[in-house]
Amino acid sequence: MIDFQKIIQDIHASMSNIEVRGKIASYIPELAFIDKKKLGIHLIDQEGNNYFTGDSKEAFSIQSISKVLSLAMAFPIMGDNLWKRVDVEPSGDPFNHLSLLELENGIPRNPLINAGALVIADILVSNLENPKEDFLNYVRNIANDQTINFDKKIAYSEKETGFKNYAAANLLKSYGNIKNKVDDVLDFYFHQCSLQMSCKQLVNAFYIFMNKGMCQLNKSYLTVKQTKRINAIMLTCGFYDEAGEFAFEVGLPGKSGVGGGIVALLPNKFCVTTWSPGLNQKGNSKLGMLALEQLTTKTGLSIF
C-alpha cells in the first residue's frame, strides 16, 4: 500500500529550502502580489481519501487550468462538432502565440492554448443563458463546493493588460471562428481565468477526469469517451511548449496555469494539485513540476 501522505510530506519538506523558485507572472498586474514561498500539495484517490500538506487550502488564481473546465462544459453541448472549430494537436508554442493561428486560418491548434480557449468561451457564451454565472455554477457543482468564486479584481486587471488576448480574439473573429462580440467573449474568458481555487477544491473538480466523467456524488458530467479525449488533450497540450517535458518527467495528463497551479491525474487512481507561484521560462510552476516528477518517481505510478 502506497503511503501518499508520507510521500507528499517528504516532497514538501525537500522543497522548503529551495531558493530558486522561478518568476511570478506579473503581466497580469494583480498576480504579482503573491508570496513566492507558498507551496501546497493535495491528492485525492478514487475512493475519496484525501492527502495534503503545506498551503493546500489557500485559494489562488487558477488561470489556464480553467481551460479544461470550460472545455468539459462545452464538449457535451457541441459533441464532436466541437472539433470543427478547434483542433487537437500540440502547438509546440507558448500559450499566447499567434502566428500559427493565422497560418491555419483561424482554427486554433487545441483548446488549451489561449486561442483555443477563446473559441470554447465563444461557444459557451452562445449556448448558456447567463454565461459567467452558469459556468461558475458548473464548477461549483462538479467540485461540490458552493464557495468557489471569481476574483473580479484579477479579471479586471487582465482586461486592462490582456492585449495579446484581444489580438487573438480579433484574429479569430476575422476568420469567423468567434460568433459573439469580441468583448463579451473576452469578458467571459478573463472571468473564467480569475477563478480562485485551492489545491483541495481543484482536486475535487478534476476528480471527474480521473473517474470516467463522474463526480464524487456519482453524478455523470462526461461520457467515458469524452473523458478519455479530454485527458488525451491534457497529456499532449496541457503544458504548451513543455508538454513533451511534462510527459517525459512526470508521465500524467495535467494542466498548468500562470497562477502557479498544476493539476495532474492518473485515470481511476488519483488526482493531485500542486501550487507554487514561481514559474519557469515556459510559464509552468517550477517547483510544481519538480514535485510531480518526484511523486510519480516515488510512487512508481504514471500512465506509462
Binding-site annotation: residue ranges? 64, 114, 158, 165, 189, 240, 258
Residue closer to ligand GLN (CB basis): 240 or 270: 240
Min dist. Cβ of residue 166 to ligand GLN (A): 11
233 binds ligand GLN (CB under 6 A): no
How far, in Å, CA of 70 to CA of 115, rounded?
13
Nearer to ligand GLN, 28 or 128 (CB): 28
Q: 166-195: which residues touch ligand GLN (CB under 6 A)?
A: 193
Please say which residue, 63 or 177, places its beta carbon nearer to ligand GLN.
Answer: 63
What is the closest distance, in whole angstroms, from the C-beta atom of residue 190 to ligand GLN in the complex?
7
Under rule CB under 6 A, residue 165 binds ligand GLN? yes
Please report, in range form, the residues annotated as the binding site for substrate: 64, 114, 158, 165, 189, 240, 258
| Smallest distance from ligand GLN to CB 90, Å | 15
Q: Are 148 and 140 in contact (CB under 8 A)?
A: yes
Interface with ligand GLN, residue 261, by CB under 6 A: no
| Shorter beta-carbon distance to ligand GLN: residue 193 or 197 | 193
Short-list 59, 11, 2, CA closest to 292: 11
Residue 109 Cβ, how far from ligand GLN at the closest point, in Å? 15
Q: Are 69 and 257 in contact (CB under 8 A)?
A: no
Instruction: Scan residues 47-86 and list those touching ligand GLN (CB under 6 A).
Output: 63-64
Q: Which of 53, 70, 91, 96 binds ligand GLN (CB under 6 A)?
A: 96
Q: Cell match 517525459: residue?
A: 248
Instruction: Report whether 65 contacts 202 (CB < 8 A).
Output: yes
Of the pair 193, 266, the CB lying nearest ligand GLN is at 193
User: For residues 267 and 277, which CB has a smaller minimum distance to ligand GLN in the complex?
Assistant: 277
Decide: is 108 part of the binding site for ligand GLN (CB under 6 A). no
Shortest distance, CB of residue 97 to ligand GLN, whole angstroms?
11
Which listed residue (106, 108, 251, 257) binds ligand GLN by CB under 6 A? 257
Q: Which residue of 45, 151, 158, 187 would you call a contact of ligand GLN, by CB under 6 A?
A: 158
Q: Is 283 in the site for ligand GLN (CB under 6 A)?
A: yes
Q: Which residues lie near ligand GLN (CB under 6 A)?
A: 63-64, 95-96, 114, 158, 165, 193, 257-258, 283
